[in-house]
Amino acid sequence: MKISFLIASGLALALAGLLSYLLLTLISSGFRRKHYAEGAPNLAQGLVLAGKLLAGLILVSGVFGPLRDYLLITAGGKEVLSWALFSFLLLCCCVAGVAYVLVSAFEGFLSGRVFKGRSLVVELAENNVGVGVVRAVLVVGLAVVFLFSMSVFIQAFIPVPAVVSIR
């Protein structure tokens, strides 16, 4: 039982590393394509990019709580490495991706409400540090909020072991 639990934990760790790498690569390449085509970002763009990358890492770390609970509940079974584990890992990855898309959408909406009548892309290109700080703080704050709701949502898919009641 302990060997299969260690294998499943190692698989989860490798998947989290791969998910972090892929998500951060996707975020940085999309941000580069939208905000600066060549060269290095200015300070405001760098702040927003750092906030988005941190938000992605926060959401990936939110997968570990429900995954730990799942592994602890299923460790008593005969087979920890099963299709149910792979399905649960796939669910965790998909939920983390959807949560990041929602965080980005809400951040764009709220930033647009804060800076009414101004183009955020132009403000970042002109190195408006205030816009960069507000957007970075918004995206990280929203990621923390979505972290808890995402964990609760994922935990709803964990099988509940049968508990014998004494009457």
**What would the mean pLDDT of 121-131 be, rounded to a whole number?**
78
pLDDT at 154: 87
pLDDT at 38: 72
pLDDT at 76: 66
Higher pLDDT, 160 or 32: 32
pLDDT at 144: 92
The total number of structural domains in the chain stands at 1
In a domain, 164, yes or no: no
**What would the mean pLDDT of 120-137 be, rounded to a whole number?**
81
In a domain, 166, yes or no: no
Q: Cα separations (Å) of 127 from 63, 120, 149?
A: 35, 11, 34
In a domain, 165, yes or no: no
In a domain, 162, yes or no: no
**What would the mean pLDDT of 89-113 be, rounded to a whole number?**
87
In a domain, 31, yes or no: yes
Does the pTM surpass 0.85? The reply is: no
By the 8 A CB rule, do 122 and 36 touch? no
In a domain, 163, yes or no: no
In a domain, 59, yes or no: yes
pLDDT at 59: 86
pLDDT at 143: 92
Q: Cα separations (Å) of 48 from 40, 51, 52, 81, 137?
A: 13, 5, 6, 39, 9
In a domain, 56, yes or no: yes
Q: Can you give the residue range of the structural domain that contains 47?
A: 2-155
